Homo-oligomer: A and B are copies of this chain.
Amino acid sequence: MKRTKNLPEKQQKLVEKLLDEACKKMIVLFGSCTAIFDGRIKSFLPKGDRMLFVKKDETLILHGSKGLKPLNWQLSGAGKINYLIEDEKLVVRTYRPKTKETLEILFDEIYQATIYDAHDSASLSIYGSESDLSDYLFSHPEIIDKNFQPTAREFETPFGFLDLRGVDKSGNPIIVEVKKRGATPADAHQLKRYVEYFEEVEKIKVQGILVAQSFSSKVMNVLRANNLEALEVPWQEIFPSLANEKPKVTMDDYIKDD
């Protein structure tokens, strides 16, 4: 990429443009910069080539050349983003009062600045969440146990919501905590605290079952130590993945040309 010298007058013009377009359009700046964040944590980012992305809601995202997570960012809801020239260099400065967080990005050089006029009213639709899995288990209780009869979903306790409640064939109460991913020790603890709620507060002895994709030995230890059950449910078989086969749903099913 050609690196044009950033002449002062050119920079001044850019700043005016940026201030003018802020909150109306997406702004992408590409250049060499350093950054300092101060708030919930402090961080310093030495000089390097980055992409700064400012959205219409003034979310500010500074990306490096690797990984999904940005190097630095500022959430929307911060005050106005300041674009200034200091020492002939572009400085982008934001302050988020709610969390008292400042982000300061100093551009040594700007290689390219682009202002996009984006229109997007669409929103992402999702299928296959943990709550979908709970729903499915509620209506297909035999997956949990052939004698399991669910009685409630999203049952509230003072310790939080539990996913499924039911009984076995003898009427003994069962509670189920559902995780789509692999179980963590925290998940086992979560289930334990629901069981404790019933035993200590409601004076009911319940069987706790943790449903998850997989169980590590440490998690199994916690479960066994607390007399809780583990049930491996491969949700991929419940929500058949299209990944391995020819997609059954293609974009053509959705796309409408104007």
* A34 contacts B254, C-beta separation under 8 Å: yes
A216 within 8 A of B: no
A55 to B71, CA, bound (A): 13
CB of A68 closer than 8 Å to a CB of B: yes
The reply to whether the CB of A7 lies closer than 8 angstroms to some CB of chain B is no
**Interface segment, A10-18, A106-114, A138-146, A163-171?**
A106-114
Chain B min CB distance to A236 (Å): 8
* Interface: A51 (CB within 8 A): yes
Q: Is the CB–CB distance between A43 and B124 below 8 Å?
A: yes
> With A and B bound together, what is the CA distance between A111 and B39 in angstroms?
37
B127/A43 in contact, CB under 8 A: yes
B127 x A65 contact (CB < 8 A): no
Most buried by B among A48, A59, A243: A243
Binds B, one of A147-155, A182-190, A203-211: A182-190
Question: Contacts A42-B239, A106-B251 known; A116 to B127 CB distance under 8 Å?
Answer: no
Is A243 a contact partner of B38 (Cβ separation < 8 A)? Answer: yes
A50 to chain B, nearest CB (A): 7
Contact between chains at B102 and A242 (CB < 8 Å): yes
Taking a contact as CB atoms under 8 Å apart, the answer to whether B71 and A66 are in contact is no
Answer yes or no: A28 CB below 8 A from chain B CBs. yes
Given A36-B251, A68-B73, 10 extra CB contacts under 8 A? A1-B115, A40-B180, A41-B129, A43-B125, A43-B127, A46-B122, A95-B243, A108-B255, A159-B189, A189-B189
- A-B contacts, 18 listed (Cβ < 8 Å): A1-B115, A28-B51, A38-B242, A40-B128, A41-B126, A44-B249, A48-B119, A48-B120, A48-B122, A51-B116, A55-B65, A59-B68, A104-B247, A108-B255, A108-B257, A111-B116, A158-B221, A189-B192
What are the 8 A-B residue pairs with the smallest beta carbon separation, nearest first? A48-B120, A46-B122, A49-B118, A100-B243, A48-B122, A41-B128, A1-B117, A42-B127
- Where the two chains meet, the residues of A that have a C-beta atom closer than 8 Å to any C-beta of B are 1, 26, 28, 30, 34, 36, 38-51, 53, 55-57, 59, 61, 63-68, 70-73, 75-76, 95, 100-102, 104, 106, 108, 111-112, 114-129, 158-160, 180-181, 185-186, 189-190, 192-193, 218, 221-222, 225, 236, 239, 241-244, 247, 249-251, 254-257
